[in-house]
Each structure stands twice: as structure tokens, then as C-alpha cells.
Copies of this chain bind each other. A is one copy, B any other.
Amino acid sequence: MITDLHTVPGFVFNGFSAGLKKNNQLDLAIIHAEKPCAAAAAFTRNLVVAEPVKVCKKQMEDGLIQTVVINSKNANACTGELGKQAVYDEIKRTSSIFHVAEKDVFIASTGVIGRPFPITQVLNGITLAANGLENTEKSSDATARAIMTTDTKPKGASFTFSLGEQTIHIGGIAKGSGMIHPNMGTMLSFIITDLNIKPEVLKVALNKAVDRSFNMISIDGDTSTNDTVLVMANGKAANDLIDSTSHQHYAKVEEELTRICIDLGQTIVDDGEGITKMITFEVKGLPEEEDCRKIIRTLSTSLLVKTAFFGKDPNWGRLFAAAGRAGVNFDPDKVDLFMGQNDELCLLKTGQPEELDEALADEILSKRDVKVKFDFNQGKAHAIGWGSDLSYDYVKINAEYTT
């Protein structure tokens, strides 16, 4: 049960059935705050974007959001003027049902693209939800389930941390399994917290956090039209207002926001379509962090690397060759490559293969969690990312999923 939203005071939420999915499955989620919250969002970098993304970029301008409406099953993308009008209709209905300003409403959609948006059902759903919001374990779980598409399970993360004498609560939910990639593939995440922070500072922290978490996960290299991460902070914790990035507590906030984004990102990779392995890629020893990230993105999207992990093959050749085509300049003769949580299996030393300890390789590769570490030994930058293998089931799920 995903009880993570329940841990944060000052919010109510629930998941509903608006009749978009078959058999009365949950398909509409609403998260509502007692009062407008400081909010920040990160959106897909795809040029082809869904209508709610276009509209909500504007909704974010004043950095305040009070009510979020999310539907699954239909992405409201490539739906033209009718699709855009539907988003405004959703905003209007939400505003009148929950008594919030239109400018403080946020809309997100996920599902198939290019199909007419079922606006009547969604509007009816919003109306029916009027008295259904609460802050319970059950409503938290229903909210997480209502945003699922091909996900096999709902996803959430939460924890508390201290700022001076105050305890801060933070909790979030996420969805997404196919199309997950740097730049955020069909991926939605909603994070709520009682932190007291200015919107513009929250935005800086979220961008840093997303770059090191959601933008460093990959299942299949595709990014979607709808990807969105939203964080809402209601200030109820009454910590000293974080009003700039030079505030004494800012670094801690950025760190904890990054942590929850990594936690949520990992739940997405872990539920990747048809995966049998969850791979952590660590790259160090290059001059620039962006170069480390480029190498990770090439590794984590290489089909040959992914199928090698599915086949439990310690194929350093595919890893090394993928690094070599990442568009990053390095000296191959300085490269070390390791596998295992503690780098216990050395595969390459200064660019040359080590004799393979097959028993140790078998042991490492028979686990679900595998770590790969490149040390280029030619700089001080460092990055981490997460990926998965590629299995028969990935092909099956994606060959059979209908447009």
C-alpha cells in the first residue's frame, strides 16, 4: 500500500473512477491543499508536448498551486484545439468544485496520444470527487493507483528530515514504466511537503534534483509528450522561510529533494516494462559532470548492453564500446571498469581486459541489482544513473500495446 502522501499534513487527496479505464478501475486523481502552495514543476523536453503541459507551463508562472487533477488512460496529446479547450474546461470545473482560483489549478494527463479527450467523463469525475478527498492511507494508495498506465504497481516514497528544530515531512507518488529516459519519459511525479520555502527557490532546487534523478533514469530511451514533476510546499512546518539559495538550510533542502526524486525515480526503473535487472551506472574520472552523464545515458540506452545484462553476461566489450561512441573525448588506455556493489569485479584495468573471475561474475549477475562503475582516471567529475536490462517481455509488452 502506497501510504506516502498520508504522511504530509495539510493536504487531502484521493483516486476515483471516471469511467476512462474499463471495469471501474481508478483513472482520476486529485491532490488538494488547504491553501495555495509554493510550487515548482519540471516538464518534458520533447518538442511535441501534450495540451495540459502547454497550459500548465503558464499556470506555473506565479509559483502557486492549490489543486492538482490527473487522469490516466488518455494523454490529451496531439488533440489540437479541442484538447486545449478541454484543459481549460477542467481548470474551470476544478476551480468551481473546490473553491480555488483558476490560476492555482494544475492539470496532468497520461495514456494514449492522439485520441479525442473524454472531457465529459473527466468533468463528471471532478464533480463527483467533490466530497471524496481525505488524508488517509487508503486515499493515498488510491491516488497513486489512479495515475497508473502500464505500471504493474503503484509507486511512492516518503521520509522526514530536520531543518534546525523543525521536522519536515515530504512524500510523493510517481508513474511511468515504458518510455523512461533522460529528459523524463512518460513519467509523472507529484511531491507534497510541509516545507516553508519561496516558489523561486523551490524551482532552483527542483531543477537540480530532477537533473540528478529523473533525468538520469532510462528504460528504453524514449521521452514522452506529457512528462511532469510537480512539487507543492504548503509551509505548514513553520521552518524559517527558505527565501534564497544562500539561506543556511537551502543546501539541505536541495539534498533532500534530490533524495526523494531519486527514490521515486528508482521505483519507476524497478517497475520498468519486463525488466529483470536494475543497473546502477557510476561514472567518474572525467573533467566534466555532463560528460559523465553523457556516458551513462549511452550505456543505459545501449541495446547490446541491455541484452547482455538480461543474458547475465559480464560483457565489458559492449560497455567499453558504448562508452566510446558517447561523443565524449577520453583516452581509452586509462580506463578502469568494475562490476559489483563494492567494485569487487575488475573487468578492465588501464583499458586492457583482466582475467575474468567467472564464479564472481556469475554471483554478481545473478542478483537483480547490479552496479557498473567506470573510472576514466582523467578528471574529477562524477555522476550516477539508473537503467535496466532488455527482456523478451519488454518487446512483448510494447509490440502489443495499442496506439
A353: nearest chain-B partner, CB-CB: B114
User: Which interface residue of A183, A303, A398 has the most chain B CB atoms within 10 A?
Assistant: A303
- Tell me how far the C-beta of A238 lies from the nearest C-beta in chain B, rounded to whole angstroms: 42
Asked whether A403 and B113 contact (CB < 8 A) given A352-B78, A392-B392, A398-B308, the answer is no
Hey, which chain B residues are within 8 Å of A324, CB to CB?
46-49, 223, 225
From known contacts A78-B351, A314-B403, infer whether A398 and B304 are also in contact, taking CB-CB under 8 Å: yes
- Which secondary structure dominates where chain A touches chain B? loop
Residues of A in contact, count (CB < 8 Å): 60
A119 is an interface residue with CB less than 8 A from chain B: no
B220 and A303 within 8 A (CB): yes
CB distance B322 to A222 under 8 Å? Answer: yes
Contact across chains for B48 and A323 when beta carbons are under 8 A apart: yes
Closest B residue to A221 by CB, please name it: B303
Interchain CB contact (< 8 A) of A220 among B304, B314, B315, B320: B304
Contact check, B392 vs A222: say whether CB atoms are below 8 A apart.
Answer: no
Interface residue A332 (Cβ < 8 Å from any Cβ of B): yes
Q: What would be 28 A-B contacts, judged by CB atoms less than 8 Å apart?
A: A46-B325, A47-B323, A47-B324, A47-B328, A47-B332, A48-B323, A78-B351, A78-B353, A114-B317, A183-B325, A221-B301, A222-B303, A222-B318, A222-B321, A222-B325, A303-B398, A307-B394, A307-B398, A307-B399, A308-B399, A310-B395, A310-B399, A311-B399, A313-B399, A313-B402, A314-B403, A392-B392, A392-B396
